[in-house]
Amino acid sequence: MNPAHYVFLAVILFVIGAIGVLVRRNAILIFMFVELMLNACNLAFVAFARMHGNLDGQVVAFFVMVVAAAEVVVGLAILMAIYRARRSASVDDASLLKY
């Protein structure tokens, strides 16, 4: 199978994730779309690693997974704090820091 197809799939997944981040208001969903984008990137890394025949992309994919896990922990903690303070998980409600 042509590795280029995986790259196209990664692009499609990334775009879906980006659109999801932009249009959804629920913070948890936004998180999930972010994860989708990260995984699209992972897929692209792995595909490129395969195409070029070296392991660099695969190593980076592992890195991304670890960082994503850490990020989710911190992010969900913040989310919990916001939810407790505001009784809402909508990111539009947390818009105090503006002009």
Partner 1 sequence: MTTLAASGVLRASWLLLAFPVFGAAVLLLGGRRTDKWGHLLACVMSLASFVYGVIAFFTLLGYAAPDRSRDQHMFTWIPVAGFQANLGVLLDPLSISFVLLITGVGSLIHIYSIGYMAHDTDRRRFFAYLNLFISAMLLLVLSDNYLGLYAGWEGVGLASYLLIGFWQFKPTAATAAKKAFIVNRIGDAGLSLAIMLMFAEFGTFNFTGVFSSVGHSGSGVTAALGLLLLLAACGKSAQVPLQSWLLDAMEGPTPVSALIHAATMVTAGVYLIVRSNVIFDLSDTARLAVTVVGAVTLLFGAIIGCAKDDIKKALAGSTMSQIGYMMLGAGLGPAGYVFAIAHLLAHGFFKAGLFLGAGSVMHGMDDEVNMRRYGGLRKFLPITFVTFSLGYLAIIGVPPFSGFFTKDSIIDAAWSKGGTDGWVLAACTIAGAGITAFYMTRLMLMTWFGTKRWEQEGVLGGAGAHPASPEPHIPHPHESALTMTVPMILLAVGSVAAGWFLIVDSRFASFLSPVVGSPPDSHGIFTVPGIIALVLVVGGVGVAWAMYGRVPVPAVAPRGSVLTAAARSDLYGDAFNESVLMRPGQWLTRLSVFFDSRGVDGLVNTLAATIGGTSARLRKVQTGFVRSYALSMLIGAVLLVAGLLVVRL
Closest to partner 1 by CB, 21 or 32: 21
Instruction: Give the nearest distance from C-beta 20 to partner 1 in angstroms.
Output: 11
Instruction: Give the nearest distance from C-beta 6 to partner 1 in angstroms.
Output: 19
Closest to partner 1 by CB, 30 or 36: 30
Closest to partner 1 by CB, 22 or 66: 22
Spatial distance between the Cα atoms of 47 and 4, rounded to a whole number of angstroms = 7
Collapse the DSSP code of 26 into the 3-class scheme (helix H, G, I; strand E, B; otherwise coil) and give the result: strand
Instruction: Give the nearest distance from C-beta 1 to partner 1 in angstroms.
Output: 26
Spatial distance between the Cα atoms of 65 and 86, rounded to a whole number of angstroms = 31
Identify the sign of the CA torsion 31, 37, 43, 48. negative
**Residues lying near partner 1 in the complex (CB under 8 A):** 18, 21-23, 25, 30, 91-92, 94-99
Collapse the DSSP code of 53 into the 3-class scheme (helix H, G, I; strand E, B; otherwise coil) and give the result: coil
